Amino acid sequence: MLKKCKYIPILETDRLVLRELTEADVEDLRKWLGLDEVYTYWGRAASKGEKNPELLFIDARPHVKRKPAPDFIWGIERKDTHEVIGMIEVFDIENDRYGMVGYRIAPWLWNTGICTEAMKRVVEFIFSETVLDRLEGRADVRNIGSNRVLQKSGFQLEGTIRHGKMASQYCDYNIWGMIRDDISANK
């Protein structure tokens, strides 16, 4: 079994609730999810669904049988306003071992510590409530905020890929990793 829990758990921090997104969040998502500046270092432009978030809740091919993905995708809700102002994910989970982290925050809230607060809670959850052994994050070397989030959340810089491919674009990017042993070593 990949996870001890089979659902997207609700995680709380001081300022935030991380929870599953629903159709009721579409208007909040519309304010920021499709903005070009969110995708400057994402390796691709905003998708049709990101520009029109109502599409994210419609199954375009309802007849196709799909295995439920083991990924965790949380919306980040502010406790004070109840708005969804970000998303954080653990995706590409493989063989009960490994998952990639991804995250994006509404631009007007950048550099207020929100992503780091969310990431620290996700890290705590993954290493206490799932059997995953490794989390990995990749960030374009020019994406100072993203590299900083990973560093402040306890990931180790493992190397820099020169002229590598992130999604569909080529750039220099850093690989940051955290393994279960890092958590025990820091206790």
Ligand X SMILES: CC(C)(COP(=O)(O)OP(=O)(O)OC[C@H]1O[C@@H](n2cnc3c(N)ncnc32)[C@H](O)[C@@H]1OP(=O)(O)O)[C@@H](O)C(=O)NCCC(=O)NCCS
Residues whose CB is less than 8 angstroms from the CB of residue 102 and which lie 6 or more positions away in sequence, other chains included: 87, 88, 89, 91, 137
Binding mask 133-162 vs ligand X (x if CB under 6 A, - otherwise)? ------x---xxxx-xx-------------
Q: Which is nearer to ligand X, 105 or 132 (CB)?
A: 105
Closest approach, Cβ 114 to ligand X, in A, equals 4
Sign of CA dihedral 149, 152, 154, 159: positive
Q: Which of 116, 121, 136, 179 binds ligand X (CB under 6 A)?
A: 116
Interaction of residue 110 with ligand X, rule CB under 6 A: yes
- The angle subtended at Cα 136 by Cα 127 and Cα 55, nearest 5°, is 95
Q: Which of 16, 18, 115, 135 binds ligand X (CB under 6 A)?
A: 115
Contact region with ligand X (CB under 6 A), list: 4-12, 14-22, 63-71, 114-122: 114-122
Binding mask 22-41 vs ligand X (x if CB under 6 A, - otherwise)? ----------------x--x
d(CA 115, CA 146): 9
SS3 14: coil
Interaction of residue 90 with ligand X, rule CB under 6 A: no
In total, the chain counts a number of residues equal to 187
Between the CA atoms of 57, 28, 33 and 144, what dihedral angle is there, to the nearest 10 degrees? -140
Residues in the interface with ligand X (CB under 6 A) total 20
Pairing of strands 72-78, 156-166: unpaired
Q: Which of 13, 16, 34, 42 binds ligand X (CB under 6 A)?
A: 42
Positions that interact with ligand X (CB under 6 A):
38, 41-42, 103-105, 110-116, 139, 143-146, 148-149
